[in-house]
Structure 1
Amino acid sequence: MRIETITYKRVKSLGNYQNETMEVTAVLDQYDDPNEVSERLRELVKSQLFPPESVPTQTDDF
C-alpha cells in the first residue's frame, strides 16, 4: 500500500456555539515518511488554532 496524501483536520470550540475548523493536506513523494508528515501536519494545525500565549516579562522595580 502506498500513501499518496495525508489530511489532518481539527475543530476548535470558540464558545457560544461557534467553532473554527482548520484542515491541511500534504502530498507525499516516494521519500516522505507518512508518520513524520502526519506529525508535522498536526503540529501546524495546533500552532495555528492554539498559538502560544505571549508571557509578559516581569521587571523588578527598585
Structure 2
Amino acid sequence: MKIETITYKRVKNLGNYQTETMEVTAVLDQYDEPDQVSEQLRVLVKNQLFPPTPVSVPTETDNF
C-alpha cells in the first residue's frame, strides 16, 4: 500500500454550541515517513486550535 496524502482534522468545542474546525493535508513524496508527517500535522493543528499560553516574565516595574 502506498500512502500519497495524509489529512488530519480536529474540532474544538468553543462552548455555547459553537465549534472551530481545522483540517490540514500533506502530500507525501517518496522520502516522507507517513508516521512522522501525521505527527507533524497533529502538532500543527493542536498549536493552531490550542495555542500555548505565553509565560509572563516579571520586570523591575512589576510589584509582587
Q: TM-score, normalised by structure 2?
A: 0.88
How many Å separate the matches in 2 of 1:46 and 1:40?
10
Q: Partner of 1:32: helix, strand, or coil? A: coil
1:30 shift after superposition: 0.6
Give every structure 1 segment of 4 or more consecutive aligned residues whose post-TM-superposition deviation is greater than 6 Å. Answer: none
Q: How does 1:5-24 map to 2 (within 5 A)?
A: 5-24=5-24
**Amino acid paired to 1:26:** A
Percent identical pairs in the alignment equals 75
Partner of 1:52: 52
d(CA) in 2 for partners of 1:37 and 1:17? 32
- Which TM-score applies when normalising by structure 1? 0.90
Q: In the TM superposition, what is the alpha-carbon distance from 1:2 to its structure 2 partner? A: 0.2
RMSD: 1.2
Kindly tell me the number of residue pairs found equivalent between the two proteins: 61
**Residue type at the aligned position of 1:2:** K
Cα distance per residue 1:2-50 (max 9 Å; x no partner): 0000000000000010000000000000110000000000000000000
Residues 51-60 or 4-13, more deviating? 51-60
